[in-house]
Amino acid sequence: MDQSIINNQQSQPKAGPPLAETIFSDWLKRLKDEGKTDEEIGQMLAGVAKLSALDVYAALMTSLTEEDMKEVEAIGDDEAAKKRMEELFRERSGMTVDEMVQKVQEGFAEGYIKAGASSS
């Protein structure tokens, strides 16, 4: 992963509180300070993205009812089905899918930072 992508990740504003931006930026900075290569950082970002996707999937499956799933499956258009699933998720969980992803990513970054601080 080249440097411009890493810098772009650090500078992209995220929805939510400024603290969230700080946590994720601090995590990326810590990785660089630890001497991680751009490729290693890219792999970690990919891992966090995969973790986020798995958590969102699990949250969707546990928050949506069987009736919700039948309703979504009955929608013929994939985009409309995705939109309806996201609406149902927000109704049930009180957060959007994007907010859920952000929460997972922040939790991972915060845990990494705290683990590094306690091992120092």
Q: What confidence tens digit (pLDDT) does each residue in 65-74 have?
A: 999 999 999 9
| Contact (CB, 8 A) for 84 and 71 | yes
Q: Based on the number of CB atoms within 10 Å of its own CB, is 105 exposed (0-12), middle (13-18) or buried (19 or more)?
A: buried
- Across the chain, mean pLDDT equals 80
Q: Pick the residue with more confidence: 43 or 118?
A: 43
Largest distance between two CA atoms of the chain: 54
Percent of the chain with pLDDT over 70: 79
Average pLDDT over residues 75-86: 92
pLDDT of residue 83: 93
pLDDT digits (tens, 9 = 90+) for 5-14: 444 444 444 4
pLDDT digit string, tens, across residues 32-44? 999 999 999 899 8
Q: Which helix (H) or strand (E) holds 70?
A: helix 66-73
3-class SS of residue 99: helix
Structure tokens at 44: 């970690």
User: What are the C-alpha distances in Å from 119 to residues 25, 41, 114?
Assistant: 20, 20, 9
